[in-house]
Amino acid sequence: MDYLNALVAFANFVLVPGTAYGAQLALGALGVTLIYGILRFSNFAHGDTMAFGTMFVILITWGFQSAGISFGPLPTALLALPFGIALTGLFLIGTDKVVYQFYRQRKVKPVVLVMVSLGVMFIMNGLTRFIIGPNDQRFADGERFIISARDFKTMTGLDEGLAIKSTQGITLITAIIVVAVLFWFLNKTRTGKSMRAFSDNEDLALLSGINPERVVLYTWLIVAALATVAGTLYGLDKSFKPFTYFQLLLPIFAAAIVGGLGNPLGAIAGGFVIAFSEVTITYAFKKVGNYVLPDALAPDGLAQLLSTDYKFAVSFAILIIVLLFKPTGLFKGQSV
């Protein structure tokens, strides 16, 4: 019985990766939730928006790298991030002007807007594949580990190592900063307050003289920032592949819905709920079990609840369970 080693193994394989993944999902879900709250539709193109923004970041990163610009121990992608956000923002605003504005003015049913977002999804997906190709792209540079498993072992003398990749640390810190800025913006600034007012009650907001097009503009800009940051962090942490980003749609929506669609706080909670459930349920607990349990009870198999490929099933199952018991999510979301 060795609780300390068990704890380290658990932290290494569940806690640390789960936290990073949760932060990435939370940022993605925040974007989905903002569009739902303010523009009032489920944006199916969000996964591809993330891929699209990340693609800009990657291209700029490559440019920087070949020009010899680097960010010391940090990935160069962080330097490229603001440019990526700006380009994605421009693209999203352009999309809104060319595509969404027309339907908004006609006050079509939300489900029509969802279909329109399907069309946008196709185009963004096609553009991404057209520009950067469908293959895996690696663009992480800088220091690989904050602490590597071997260092950890020599430092503590434990059998289990704890590795924290620098991308995981960066993910968490960036996510905290982004969320803090977002909440400051929504709660303290005039534009943020008008966005919240618009989300709560559109008619009342219009009556009090809030310019809806301005609100929409800011929403797309914020969504561009959130999507690009989330996509870049995910790409740094794992790898960039357009199809993977498209597949992220399900856990992101699951996170937003579990938290309560339209509720930013819920999106963050939802992101971590989904991430940790996915990681814990598909993690093989054999190692942890071997440390904690007496030899007679040590597990024979992998002690894995579900195979890793079922992680989407986990997001979805949690989604259904939450919806059955709390139809508007954990935090009260909108039920338009």
Partner 1 sequence: MTARDALLFVFVGCLIIGTGFVQSWNSALLILNMGLISAIMALGVNLQWGLAGLFNVGVMGFVALGGLAAVVTSMPANAEEWSVGGVRVIFGLLLGAGTIIATIMLRQRMAADRARNLATLVVLIGGFFLFRAVFDPGVDAIESVNPAATGYLGGLGLPVLVAWPVGGLLAAGAAWIIGKTALGLRSDYLAIATLGIAEIIIAILKNEDWLSRGVKNVVGLPRPVPYEIDLQNSESFVERAAGLGLDPTTASTLYVKLGYSILFAIVLIILLWLAQKALNSPWGRMMRAIRDNEVAAEAMGKDVTARHLQVFILGSAICGIAGAMMTTLDGQLTPGTYQPLRYTFLIWVMVIVGGSGNNLGAVLGGFLIWFLWVQVEPIGLLVMQGVTAGMADGYWLKDHLLDSAAHMRLLTMGLVLLLVLRFSPRGLIPER
Interface with partner 1 (CB under 8 A) = 36, 41-42, 99, 102, 110-112, 114-116, 118-127, 129-131, 133-134, 246-247, 249-250, 253-254, 257, 261, 301, 305, 307, 309-310, 312-313, 315-316, 319-320, 323-324, 327, 335-336
Least distance in angstroms from the C-beta of 178 to partner 1: 24
Least distance in angstroms from the C-beta of 309 to partner 1: 5
97 versus 153: smaller Cβ distance to partner 1: 97
Least distance in angstroms from the C-beta of 108 to partner 1: 9
Q: Is the dihedral of CA 185, 190, 195, 196 positive or negative?
A: positive
Least distance in angstroms from the C-beta of 275 to partner 1: 16
116 versus 330: smaller Cβ distance to partner 1: 116
Residue 241: strand, helix, or coil: coil
225 versus 258: smaller Cβ distance to partner 1: 258
Q: HSE (CB half, 13 Å, CA atoms) of 312?
A: 7
Tell me which DSSP letter residue 147 carries. Answer: E
| Gap between the Cα atoms of 29 and 80, Å rounded | 23
**Which residues of 75-234 form beta strands (DSSP E)?**
145-147, 164-165
Least distance in angstroms from the C-beta of 317 to partner 1: 8
First to last CA, the chain: 53
Bridge partners of residue 304, in order along the sequence:
284
C-alpha dihedral, 121 to 315 to 261 to 268, nearest 10°: -100
CB-based contacts of 78, cutoff 8 Å, min separation 6: 71, 170, 174
Least distance in angstroms from the C-beta of 288 to partner 1: 17
In degrees rounded to 5, what are phi and psi of residue 145?
A: -125, 140
**116 contacts 95 by C-beta, under 8 angstroms:** no
| Angle value at C-alpha 18, between 172 and 117, nearest 5 degrees | 80
Least distance in angstroms from the C-beta of 250 to partner 1: 6
**185 contacts 192 by C-beta, under 8 angstroms:** yes
106 versus 190: smaller Cβ distance to partner 1: 106
109 versus 144: smaller Cβ distance to partner 1: 109
| Gap between the Cα atoms of 274 and 226, Å rounded | 18
Least distance in angstroms from the C-beta of 106 to partner 1: 10
94 versus 126: smaller Cβ distance to partner 1: 126
69 versus 98: smaller Cβ distance to partner 1: 98
Least distance in angstroms from the C-beta of 237 to partner 1: 22
Tell me which DSSP letter residue 164 carries. Answer: E
178 versus 288: smaller Cβ distance to partner 1: 288
**58 contacts 137 by C-beta, under 8 angstroms:** yes
CB-based contacts of 134, cutoff 8 Å, min separation 6: 241, 242, 243
Rg (CA), the chain: 21
Q: HSE (CB half, 13 Å, CA atoms) of 76?
A: 18
73 versus 133: smaller Cβ distance to partner 1: 133
